[in-house]
Chain A
Amino acid sequence: DAGITQSPRHKVTETGTPVTLRCHQTENHRYMYWYRQDPGHGLRLIHYSYGVKDTDKGEVSDGYSVSRSKTEDFLLTLESATSSQTSVYFCAISGTGDNGYTFGSGTRLTVV
């Protein structure tokens, strides 16, 4: 995926442990987003960022926190992972005046 990388691609973790997912972009885009995708629910926005240190909640933000200390990196942290957070997580980016998103390849997270 051009200019956007997610890591790790796959992760299995235990209930109660903290987990951090990373999104890295080389496009210098202002906006970054974290979505989760689940069967029957489609893509749901967790958190988004509109600039360095500027973040806001999406529709399913409980149990998640984010940080953006530099333009290129947007971190998603599950503070204490639960089985309900087993999902595929997608990061997306968009530029100012650019209404289309570019998505990463996703992180498949399993909480056991």
Chain B
Amino acid sequence: QKEVEQDPGPLSVPEGAIVSLNCTYSNSAFQYFMWYRQYSRKGPELLMYTYSSGNKEDGRFTAQVDKSSKYISLFIRDSQPSDSATYLCAILKAAGNKLTFGGGTRVLVKP
């Protein structure tokens, strides 16, 4: 079993819809939770970063962490065609400095 599971999609939504992405993880030692966005033929770029349970907002993006369920989510409000990309969750253990990535979910926002 992978340490971090993520539905590969693709997830297709109309412009303006809410995009809902999620990951589950198995190791309770994970303490830091991130979401990366990756456009085609580009490197991943950090979108959101949180280390506690609860919600964190940044513009149209909301990251949600539920440590008791080992479940993290990313919501994109008022989605735009420019949001079409692959979204990867990434989790960091408290000790060490190596990120463990989910497999990524491909999102397509149709105009």
Interface residues of A (CB under 8 A from B): 1, 31, 33, 40-43, 45, 48, 50, 58, 90, 92, 94, 99-106
Query: What CA separation (Å) do A55 and B26 show in the bound complex?
Result: 27
Chain B residue with minimal CB distance to A105? B43
- The answer to whether B46 and A105 have CB atoms under 8 Å apart is no
Chain B residue with minimal CB distance to A91? B43
- The interface residues of chain A lying within 8 Å CB-to-CB of B51 are 99
- The interface residues of chain A lying within 8 Å CB-to-CB of B41 are 106
- The answer to whether B97 and A100 have CB atoms under 8 Å apart is no
Interface residues of B (CB under 8 A from A): 6, 8, 32, 34, 41-46, 49, 51, 88, 90, 92, 97-99, 101-104
- Given A43-B88, A50-B97, A99-B49, A106 and B42 contact (CB-CB distance below 8 Å): yes
A97 to chain B, nearest CB (A): 9
Among A90, A92, A103, max chain B CB count under 10 A is at: A103
- The interface residues of chain B lying within 8 Å CB-to-CB of A102 are 46
- The answer to whether B42 and A42 have CB atoms under 8 Å apart is no
